Amino acid sequence: MIKNILFVIVLILAITSGRAQNNSVVLPTKRQVEWSDKEIGVIIHLDINIFAPETFDYSKKETLPPLSAFNPSRLNTDQWILAAKKAGAKYAVLTAKHGTGFCLWKTKVHDYHVGNTPLRGGGADVVADFIKSCRKYGLEPGIYYNTNMNTYYQAGYVKMPDEDRLKFNNAVYRQLKELWSEYGELFEIWFDGGVMSDRKVGIKDKVMQLLKDHQPNALLFGGPLGGNNILRWVENEDGRTPYPFWNRIDAKINSSGEAEISNGAGNPNGKYWVGAEADFPNRNKSAWNGGWLWKAGEEQKVFSADNLLNRYYTSVGRNTNVLIGMAIDTSGLFPAHDVKVFEEFGKKLAQREKSRVGSNQGTGELITINFDSEKEINQIEIQEDLTKGERIREYSVEGLTGKTWKKICDGTSVGHKRIQLFDKIKSTSVRLMITKSSKVPVIRNFSAYFFE
C-alpha cells in the first residue's frame, strides 16, 4: 500500500515538474489583446517650437514662438497616415499637446492654440483632421497629452508653488475633458509620465472619473493604477525591449505613498496584466530634441529600413508593441525621405511574411512542423494565445538534420510573440518543446522562416 502511494506521488511530481508553482490566472482585457495583435503603431510629433529650434528653451516661457510663427501651409494629415500605413502601422498617436503647451486643437482653456495661428486663417483643428484621416484609412486613433510638462504654464521644468500647480492641474483637467469628449472614441491615450497623484494638488481621481465617463475602452499608456487597459514603458526610447519580458507585473509605492504600476521587465507571476510599448523616434538621438521633432538638415540621421526591421525584432519579437516616431516638418508633411524609408520597411515586413517555410499550432508541451522536403531556415516565431494568459516559462527549439535533432535556440518569455534569429540550417522538421509552464501551453502560432 505504501509503495503504491509513493509511486503515485512520484508520478504526479514527474508530470508537474515542468509547471511553475504559481498557477494564479491573470488575463488581459479584450482591448489589450486587440492592441497586442496590432503590433506596430506610430507617434506623430508636431509642435510650435520646430519654427524656432535655435532659440526655444523649454524652461523659459519667454522663448515660446509667437502664434504667428505656426503656419505649416501644406499640412496634410492624410499624408501622415498613409505613410504610417505603408510601414505596417495599425494605430497612430498624435501629440495634441507636447512640451511647449501649444495645442493642436482650439482649446477654450487658453489662447495659445492652433485656432489663433495663420494656419487656414485660424480655422484649423489638427486633432480633428488627424482623427478623420485615421478613420479614413483604417488606423486606430490615439492622443498624447503630457499632464506634467508645459512651458506655457511654466510647469514641470521649474518648481511650482502649490497654488500655481492647482491652477495648472485644473487647466490640464479641462483640456483632457475637451480631448476625450469631443473627438469620439480613442484607441490609445498617452500620458507620458503618468498623472500627478499627490493627495494635496494631484488630479488622479478626477482623471480616472473622466476616463470612465468618456473613454472607458481606451488603452492607457502610463495610465493610473485602477484604470482599464493599462500599458507601460520598456524604460528606453530605442525600440529595444529587454529579454525576458513579461506582460504581468506588480505595483510599487510612489513618493506620495500611493500604489502605481512599475515599469521594468515584469514578473511572470505578477498581479496585473500591463503590456508594454517600445517607442523610439525614426531619427537617432543626436538629432534635435532627441530625434522626436523635426529640424532641417538632419535627413542623414533618419534610421534605415533595415534598422527599423532590427528594432521590430527587438520589440515585437520580444513580447511588446513598437511605436515609431514621426517628425512632421515645418511645411506640415512627413518628409519625403522618411516616407520612402517607411515604405521600404513595410515591404520588408511583407517579404518576411512571404518567407514563412512552415507553421503549426496546438496545445501542449510539444509542437512540431514537418516540411515536405529539406528546407533552409534562420528564424522561428512563437505566439501564445493571450486569451488564456502567459503560460510559457521556458522553451527549447530543435531542428532535425539528417536523423539528428539539434538545438537551434531556447528562451523563457513568449507572450504575444517571440522571434529568434540564428545562423541558417537545413532541416526537414523543427519542434518547439515547452520545458516549463504555469498551465498547459496554448500555442497560437509556431512558424519557421528563411529570410535574409
Percent of the chain with pLDDT over 90: 84
DSSP for 371-432, written as a single string = EEEEEEEEEEEEEE-GGG---EEEEEEEEEETTEEEEEEEES--TT-EEEEEEEEEEEEEEE
Q: Check residues 379 and 162 and name the one with the higher pLDDT.
A: 379
The answer on pLDDT for 6 being more than 50 is: no
pLDDT confidence tier of residue 21, bands split at 50, 70 and 90 = very low
CA torsion sign for 352, 354, 359, 362 is positive
Instruction: Give pLDDT tens digits for 206-231.
Output: 999 999 999 999 999 998 888 889 99
Average pLDDT on 47-63 reads: 97
Q: Which residue in 19, 16, 25, 18 sits closest to 269, CA to CA?
A: 25
Cα separation, 449 vs 377, in Å, equals 5
Instruction: Give pLDDT tens digits for 318-363.
Output: 999 999 999 999 999 999 999 999 999 999 999 999 999 999 999 9
Q: Which residue in 307, 336, 299 sits closest to 324, CA to CA?
A: 307
Average pLDDT on 1-7 reads: 40
Domain 30-354 indexed as CATH 3.20.20.80: yes
Domain residue extents for the chain: 30-354, 358-449
Instruction: Give pLDDT tens digits for 165-221.
Output: 889 999 999 999 999 999 999 999 999 887 765 666 778 889 999 999 999 999 999
Q: What is the mean pLDDT of the chain?
A: 92
Helices (H) and strands (E) in the chain, counts: 8, 18
Structure pTM? 0.93
The answer on pLDDT for 101 being more than 50 is: yes
pLDDT confidence tier of residue 42, bands split at 50, 70 and 90 = very high
The answer on pLDDT for 265 being more than 90 is: yes
| CATH architecture of the region 358-449 | Sandwich (2.60)
The answer on pLDDT for 266 being more than 50 is: yes
Average pLDDT on 388-399 reads: 98
Write down the pLDDT at residue 11.
34
Average pLDDT on 74-84 reads: 98
The answer on pLDDT for 256 being more than 70 is: no
The answer on pLDDT for 383 being more than 80 is: yes
197-229 burial code (b ≥16 CB/10 A, e <16): bbeebbbbebbbebbeebbeebbbbbbbbebbb
